[in-house]
Structure 1
């Protein structure tokens, strides 16, 4: 059995002048080596070969299609940048296939889109070979792209594990539940932002400047000189709901009655309910 030496540490007592302390002491341990995982090694090698093959295909396709697009008198930079899209399209679809390898329903769309992008890439390479009076070279370049796609598909089919019907349904339901939680979180954040903007606009309208600031003051000797005007109520429905919430009120009808007394106007039940939901989410 093969072993390897590992350096570890342990605490040992050490006494000086009658005072003992625990100090770290290094020591070596022989641990057994696990056997080589040849399946993993072979799979890693196959993926490395596919990656190199894809890199070669991207360079070849970009060179051929870029030269084809340059014939239209566009800038070489633009032509070769556009040429990369032919190869990158089906390569991105292959990445999506890998992510959805355990879900046959989700893998169909990226696989079909990948075939469309691959066909466009191969056709462009063949057209370039035909225009360059070397159709054979164009066909060989197109076969390289198809071979890279086929090789990747073989590796993917080997790696993807087929799930039985019940397990697949369980995975689908679980993915839907988690996706719903993520979606609801995003919707709540969006509603909170919209609610904040609406509250800010309402506050801005309530605190708008006087449209006629230069009007003369009323005559102090007039018939209403002894009447002291009451200050306008600046307590909003949202503020009143917040105060009721902080006071421990949770029932919608009780909060609505409090808001009506605090603001002097009967609030809308939907508005009170909306503010209460926002406070529950924030809590």
Structure 2
């Protein structure tokens, strides 16, 4: 049996001059090595070969289709960039297949899309071989793409352990619950943003700035003469004081109470008194 040596550190008591302290002490011991996991080694090697094959296919297909497109486009960069889309399309679909490997329903669409991209890739490679008077080379390049796709499908089928019907339904329900929570979070975020914007708009419409002193003779240097907030009904402090004056209210305290009720907020007694004095002067 194979073994390996490991070094461990433990705390041990050590006494010097009658004082005992805990110190670190290293010691070694040999433990048995687990047997080699040949299944994992073989799977890792197979995946490495598949990835290497995909790299070769990407280069080959891009070069072949790019050379075909340069016959119609004078810019090689654009031609080869467009050519890479043929092979990258079905490779991306393979990635989505891997992510949906435990859901037979969700895996169908990326698999079909991957087959469509693969067919267009193989057809373009064959066309390039035909145009370049080397159809055999084109067919070989197309077979390389098809072989890489087939190997990936085999690896995916090996990794995607089939689930029984009841377990598959349980997985679907849990996935739907998580998806619903994500959807509700996004909707709540949108509603919060919309409500915040609506509240800001309403606040801007409710609040305005008075233009300045009017014909009642307000003092432009006073601290209340510049800004007068309006209540939602549009009545200003001056309007409320004028209404109180017309109703026969002349005292400062009574007028302040009336204006506060009319405005829906506490009014400044000094501001109310100033308007009352102006109205008295005008009368």
Length-normalised TM-score, structure 1: 0.76
Match of 2:147? 147
SS at 1:104's partner residue? coil
For the aligned residue pairs, the C-alpha RMSD in angstroms reads: 2.1
Residue 216 of structure 1, aligned match among 214, 227, 232: 214
Distance in 1 between residues matched to 2:176 and 2:154, nearest whole Å: 29
Deviation for aligned residue 1:135: 1.1
- 1:51 is matched with 51
Q: Which residue of 2 aligns with 1:20?
A: 20
- Runs of 4+ in structure 1 over 6 Å off: none
Matched with 2:112 is 112
Range moving further from structure 2, 190-199 or 89-98: 190-199
Instruction: Measure how far apart 1:77 and its partner are.
Output: 0.9
Which deviations, in whole Å up to 9, do the C-alpha atoms of 1:234-258 show, x marking residues without a partner? 79xxxxxxxxxxxxxxxxxxxxxxx
Match of 1:32 in 2: 32
Deviation, structure 1 residue 97? 0.9
CA gap of 1:165–1:217, structure 2 versus 1, over 3 A, is same
Bigger mean CA deviation after superposition, 155-164 or 113-122: 155-164
Q: Does the Cα contact within 8 Å between 2:126 and 2:139 map onto a contact in 1? A: yes
Count of residue pairs brought into register by the alignment? 232
1:20 Cα deviation from its structure 2 partner: 2.4
Query: Residue 172 of structure 1: CA displacement?
Result: 0.9
What's the offset of the Cα at 1:91? 0.3
- Cα deviation 1:110-160 (Å, max 9, x = unaligned): 000000000010111111111111111111111110111111111111221
Q: Could you tell me which residue of structure 1 aligns to residue 97 of structure 2?
A: 97
- 1:184 is displaced (CA, Å) by 1.5
Paired with 1:44 and 1:233, the residues of 2 have a C-alpha distance of 75
The within-5 A match list for 1:1-283 is 1-210=1-210, 213-218=211-216, 224=245, 227-228=255-256, 229-230=259-260, 232-233=263-264
Q: 1:209 to 1:56 in 2, by over 3 A?
A: same
Task: Identify which range, 3-12 or 197-206, moves more after superposition.
Answer: 197-206
- Superposed displacement of residue 190, structure 1: 1.9
| SS of equivalent residue, structure 1 residue 106 | coil
What is the distance in 1 between the residues matched to 2:43 and 2:265? 71
Q: Deviations over 1:33-57 (max 9, x none)?
A: 1111100100000000000000000
Residue ranges of structure 2 left out of the alignment (5+ in a row): 219-241, 267-283
